[in-house]
């Protein structure tokens, strides 16, 4: 997985590669799916949701440009895999999931990670209490960027988010350049499950 699907497709950050070496992806898939855990595709995790494919998790993580001292918000905990990868790379990870069953399972899996806080709630509203964030990663599709996420970024902070309709989205990196401006960069085309949020 690391050689072909990550390095082979352009993931370069050595810290990101190291994080993927450390986190056992088979612990984040459903019982019985362990043999498929290192394939470069999403897998079902129950409740109609999926664990994202490894390359996309790596791309989103690298796009955050993490040095080690950051606080990161992870929207859509799902299996908890993205949160575990981030936990290897930064000081603090706040991860939020709207489905109680998934939240509870991920919370148990992530018990050994002392720098991860698992929350149950609507991540489209962000999580004000721990804001502002150096980076925010959203693993669910949205037609518009939720304003709360833009506001909860530090100046210089990066938001990685798939924006578009249900069938195809543009993965964007949105960097807050000052109090009232955000720069958008296109990263690649993607397809995520929907963000179900009061934010729309
Ligand atoms: N990062 C996850 C990917 C999970 S898929 C992983 O590594 O496994 C996206 C997740 O976002 C789903 O679990 C879905 O329930 C959740 N989700 C959708 N809308 C949400 C919202 N408004 N707030 C929090 N989580 C949400």
Does the pLDDT value for residue 33 go beyond 80?
Answer: yes
Residue 195, in any domain of the structure: no
What count of other Cβ atoms lies within 10 Å of the Cβ of residue 19? 21
Residue 121, in any domain of the structure: yes
Give the DSSP letter string of 132-159.
Answer: SEEEEEE-SBBSS--HHHHHTEEEEEEE
Range of the domain at 161: 2-190
* Dist. CA 46 → ligand 1 center (Å): 12
pTM of structure: 0.98
The alpha-carbon radius of gyration of the chain (Å, integer) is 15
- pLDDT tens for 97-146 read 999 999 999 999 999 999 999 999 999 999 999 999 999 999 999 999 99
Question: What mean pLDDT comes out for the span 78-107?
Answer: 98
Does the pLDDT value for residue 200 go beyond 90?
Answer: no
Distance CA 181, CA 166 (A): 27
Residue 19, in any domain of the structure: yes
- Residues with CB under 6 Å of ligand 1 are 49-52, 75-76, 78-79, 81-82, 96-99, 102, 122-124, 139-140, 193, 195-197
Distance CA 144, CA 127 (A): 18
Residue 196, in any domain of the structure: no
Taking the alpha carbons at both ends of the chain, their separation in whole angstroms is 35
Please report the pLDDT score of residue 199 as a whole number: 87
For residue 102, the domain's CATH number is 3.40.50.150
Distance CA 81, CA 43 (A): 12
Q: Do residues 172 and 179 touch, judged by C-beta distance below 8 A?
A: no
Q: With bands split at pLDDT 50, 70 and 90, how would you rate the model's confidence at 150?
A: very high
| Mutational test site, ligand 1, from 56, 58, 140, max ligand atoms within 8 Å of CB | 140
Catalytic residues: 52
Q: With bands split at pLDDT 50, 70 and 90, how would you rate the model's confidence at 14?
A: very high
Please report the pLDDT score of residue 53 as a whole number: 97
For atom 9 of ligand 1, which residue has the closest CA?
Answer: 76
Instruction: Say if strands 71-75 and 92-97 run parallel, antiparallel, or are unpaired.
Output: parallel
Q: Is the dihedral of CA 78, 79, 83, 85 positive or negative?
A: negative
Distance CA 18, CA 58 (A): 11
* Dist. CA 193 → ligand 1 center (Å): 8
Q: Do residues 118 and 52 touch, judged by C-beta distance below 8 A?
A: no
For residue 56, give the 3-state DSSP assignment: helix
Residue 200, in any domain of the structure: no
The domain total for the chain is: 1
Q: What is the mean pLDDT of the chain?
A: 97
Residue 116, in any domain of the structure: yes
Residue 12, in any domain of the structure: yes
Residue 130, in any domain of the structure: yes
- Percentage of residues of the chain with pLDDT beyond 70: 100
- pLDDT tens for 168-180 read 999 999 999 999 9
């Amino acid at each position: 997985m690391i050689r072909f699907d990550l390095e082979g497709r352009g993931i370069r950050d050595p810290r990101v590669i190291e994080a993927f070496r450390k986190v056992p992806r088979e612990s984040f898939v459903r019982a019985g799916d362990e043999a498929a855990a290192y394939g470069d595709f999403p897998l079902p995790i129950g409740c109609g949701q999926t664990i994202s494919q490894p390359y996309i998790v790596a791309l989103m993580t690298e796009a955050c440009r993490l040095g080690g001292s950051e606080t990161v918000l992870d929207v859509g905990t799902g299996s908890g895999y993205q949160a575990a990868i981030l936990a290897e790379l930064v000081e603090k990870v706040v991860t939020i999931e709207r489905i109680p069953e998934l939240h509870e399972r991920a919370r148990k899996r992530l018990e050994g990670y002392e720098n991860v806080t698992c929350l149950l709630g609507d991540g489209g509203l962000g999580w004000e209490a721990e804001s502002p964030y150096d980076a925010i990663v959203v693993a669910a599709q949205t037609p518009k960027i939720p304003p709360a996420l833009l506001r909860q970024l530090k100046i210089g902070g990066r938001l990685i988010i798939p924006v578009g309709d249900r069938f195809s989205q543009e993965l964007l990196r949105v960097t807050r350049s000052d109090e009232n401006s955000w720069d958008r960069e296109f990263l690649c085309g993607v397809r995520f499950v929907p963000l179900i949020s009061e934010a729309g």
